[in-house]
Amino acid sequence: MSGPERQSTPTTVVIFGASGDLTQRKLIPALYNNFKKRRLPEGIRIIGVARRDWTDDYFRARLRDGVRENSAASHDDATWSELEGKLHYFQGNLDSAEDYQRLQAHLNALESGPADRLYYLATAPEYYGPACGHLAAAGMNSDAQGRRSIIIEKPFGEDLASAQTLNAQVHAAFREDQVYRIDHYMGKETAQNILFLRFANTLFEPVWNRRYVSNIQVTVAETVDVGHRAGYYDKAGVLRDMFQNHLLQLLALVAMEPPASLNADAIRNEKAKVLGAIRPIHLANTVRAQYEGYRAAEGVAPSSATPTYAALKLHIDNWRWKGVPFYLRSGKAMADRSSTIIVEFQAPPDIMFKLGENECFTPNMLSICIQPNEGMQLRFETKVPDTVAESHSVNMNFQYRDAYPGVILPDAYERLLLDALKGDASLFARSDEIEAAWRLIDPVLSGYKTSPDLSPICSYPVGSWGPSAADDLLVRGGHVWRSGCQSCGGGTLCTIPKNA
Ligand code: BG6
């Protein structure tokens, strides 16, 4: 995926929406960390564009505070002073064609020669399409003076139609190879490690299919509630906010066929293919719920039917996965923060060992712990010492903090910004992946409007593992949510009768 770490072409990063939270909390800390590691192109310049009447000094002071609070690496004044000189502010209105012309002239004067440019749309989503149009009208998409690329934040559309419209607007201004649709889950170390686990080892891939896998579970549980984001969240809900992007992207990494290389298109072809092979989701295979008290949160409509939790059962209709259920769940205000993928293998065809008193047989499980406690665990059976034939499950455990002591796992934005600067799109979603994901989620969202009774919204207590309906969804298939890396609200299920 990532090639040599440092570019020599002078490069300008232009952040639109630079007065916002994302710039302060994520983008500048990520650029700072890369700068500290000497990975940014020499001659880097970072221009923040926003409407407010700020000076360079004010902008820099604000960003310094952001770096102090949010950078994974420790803050040091010398590095900051060096970077600070490369940070500038430009006051401009995203609606104004004239302001893009002014910005273009300003950037040309600063660059005074060929330079690559990376535009970052950290704005409200309604500006994504129009901003692309304005950039093109001002000639800012032209590669004549250096590479021009653009990063677009999520949400990428709010349904299939709006995502297609946005893709059309983006493509009217930029070629696909200039476009980087960011999904920060793809920048997490552990998510990147999925491809290494599967394709840099010989052990797992032979059993990574319907012959050996019983089911796959993807959990992204959060303890945070809607907080101050109700304005956005109450319109979006968990399916748009988490499933259309993060969960389906994780699923694609787990389920895709081996790519021919680590080249961006080779990877994205396989991801798009597997997303396209997911069977349309039956509403009865979905659970949607709201945490108790959600409707009373500031900014939430008192009669809101927006789910803050969902669980889905999916099937992939291809040779590898036919008949293997994929269970996805995500919610806010849950018992623990935990993003985990569990591959549950089938039980052996015959169990000839005794189980301990009150123990159920536990199939082998591979847990990919995305966060926190990043690592992987393989659960398998052993003989209990000093018994004749009693079986007990134990874990083989890989933890980043033990295997790579002292290494601070970079924030997702650190990797993603660096890759975009280098022109490596392998961790970014292509237009067809985005549309394939919407093609799955959209009918569920409209089904909730037209046939709400097929999956009535239920509630769950704050600090729980979600509604019992989500447990029932698995039990119907003879499965149970598994706890992997830590407590994931999992249970045990005697899918095989004790001492069978
Ligand atoms: C964002 C969602 O994309 O991801 C948020 O909009 C969510 O609602 C966040 O809280 C979760 O990201 P992370 O990295 O904290 O797991």
pLDDT tens-digit map of 297-328: 999 999 999 999 999 999 999 999 999 999 99
Closest Cα to atom 5, ligand 1: which residue?
Answer: 241
C-alpha 183/C-alpha 213 separation (Å) is 28
Percent of the chain with pLDDT over 70: 94
Q: CA of 251: how far to CAs of 272, 315, 411, 439, 488, in Å?
A: 11, 11, 21, 15, 18
User: Taking the CB of residue 268, how many other CB atoms lie within 10 A of it?
Assistant: 23
pLDDT tens digits, 103-120: 999 999 999 999 999 999
**Best probe residue, ligand 1, of 25, 26, 186, 241 (max atoms within 8 Å of C-beta):** 241
pLDDT value of residue 170: 98
30/393: higher pLDDT: 30
Q: Express each pLDDT in 219-241 by its tens digit.
A: 999 999 999 999 999 999 999 99
Residue 224 Cα, ligand 1 centroid: separation in angstroms? 10
pLDDT of residue 179 exceeding 90, the answer is yes
Q: Could you give the percent of the chain with pLDDT greater than 90?
A: 85
pLDDT of residue 357: 66
What whole-number distance in Å separates Cα of residue 500 and Cα of residue 355? 9
**What residues pair up with 13 in beta bridges, in sequence order?**
46, 118
Residue 412 alpha carbon, nearest atom of ligand 1: 14
Residue nearest to atom 4 of ligand 1 (CA): 242
- The Cα–Cα gap between 368 and 488 comes to 12
Assign 39 a pLDDT band (cuts: 50, 70, 90): very high
The model's pLDDT over 433-465, given as tens digits with 9 standing for 90+, comes to 999 999 999 999 999 999 999 999 999 999 999
Question: At 498, is the pLDDT very low, low, confident or very high (cuts 50, 70, 90)?
Answer: very low
Q: Is 349 left (phi over 0), alpha (psi -120 to 50) or beta?
A: alpha
What pLDDT, on the 0 to 100 scale, is given for residue 397? 92
The pLDDT value recorded for residue 484 is: 66
Could you tell me the distance, in angstroms and rounded to a whole number, from the CA of residue 476 to the centre of ligand 1?
A: 30
pLDDT in tens, 386-439: 888 788 888 899 999 999 999 999 999 999 999 999 999 999 999 999 999 999
Q: What is the mean pLDDT of the chain?
A: 92
* DSSP 8-class letter at 334: B
Residue range 61-89, pLDDT digits in tens: 999 988 888 876 677 889 999 999 999 99
Burial tier of 432 (Cβ tally within 10 Å: 0-12, 13-18, 19+): middle
Catalytic site residue 88?
no
Residue of 174, 323, 316, 188 whose CA lies nearest to 245: 188
Would you place residue 496 in the very low, low, confident or very high pLDDT band (cuts 50, 70, 90)?
A: very low
- Cβ-based neighbour number of residue 54 at 10 Å: 18
pTM listed for this prediction: 0.94
pLDDT of residue 5: 57
pLDDT the model gives residue 245 = 98
186 pLDDT higher than 80: yes
Max distance between CA atoms of the chain, in angstroms, equals: 82
Active-site option among 134, 246, 315, 479: 246
**Residue 153 near ligand 1, beta carbon < 6 Å:** no
Nearest to 248 by CA among 472, 439, 454, 120: 439
